[in-house]
């Protein structure tokens, strides 16, 4: 846990969130400012600041993120329609919270490229 990290506080239960999925490695909760009918943040429990801070020991964790994204999509019944998983890295990449997370977006026709 990193003091003053918003997502570490959510993981520790110190700040409430609308939890959707939890396991030993990560949690998934509703984004407070949803950009699609389904917008969850998939957040590893381990405090990793950005995608640039990943090491080979995190490979299994990141694979697991995508396994959970698929489970969420199937549980919501939108797997065949489609969904998007995206990580924003550093300021120009749109990152605003420095604890690695993956946006899960679904429920509308998502456009490309993003803004
Ligand atoms: P990013 O800009 O990629 O770092 O994503 C951070 C996301 O965290 C944004 O989509 C915010 O809406 C979301 N967010 C910020 N504070 C909270 C919170 N307390 N609970 C849930 N989501 C949050
Ligand atoms: Zn953190």
In the annotation, is 101 catalytic?
yes
31 in contact with ligand 1, CB cutoff 6 A: yes
Q: Which atom of ligand 1 is nearest to 31's Cα?
A: 22
Q: 56-108, pLDDT tens digit by residue?
A: 999 999 999 999 999 999 999 999 999 999 999 999 999 999 999 999 999 99
Q: Which atom of ligand 1 is nearest to 29's Cα?
A: 21
* Contacts (Cβ under 8 Å, ≥6 apart) of 37: 106, 107, 108
How far apart CA 79 and CA 67 sit, in angstroms, is 12
What is the pLDDT at residue 87?
A: 98
96 in contact with ligand 1, CB cutoff 6 A: yes
Please name each of the domains of the chain with its CATH number: 6-106 (3.30.428.10)
pTM of the model: 0.98
83, 106 Cβ separation under 8 angstroms: yes
How far apart CA 44 and CA 18 sit, in angstroms, is 16
Question: Which pLDDT band holds residue 7 (cuts at 50, 70, 90)?
Answer: very high
The three-class DSSP label of residue 53 is: helix
């Amino acid at each position: 846990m990193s003091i003053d990290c918003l997502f570490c506080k959510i993981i520790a239960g110190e700040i409430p969130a609308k939890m959707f999925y939890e396991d030993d490695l990560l949690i998934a909760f509703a984004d407070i400012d949803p950009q699609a009918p389904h917008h969850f943040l998939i957040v590893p429990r381990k405090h990793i600041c950005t995608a640039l801070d990943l090491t080979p020991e995190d490979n299994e964790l990141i694979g697991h993120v995508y396994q959970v994204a698929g489970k969420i999509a199937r549980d919501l019944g939108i797997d065949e329609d489609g969904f998007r998983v995206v990580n924003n890295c550093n300021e120009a990449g749109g990152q605003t919270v420095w604890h690695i997370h993956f946006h899960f977006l679904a429920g509308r026709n998502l456009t490309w490229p993003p803004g």
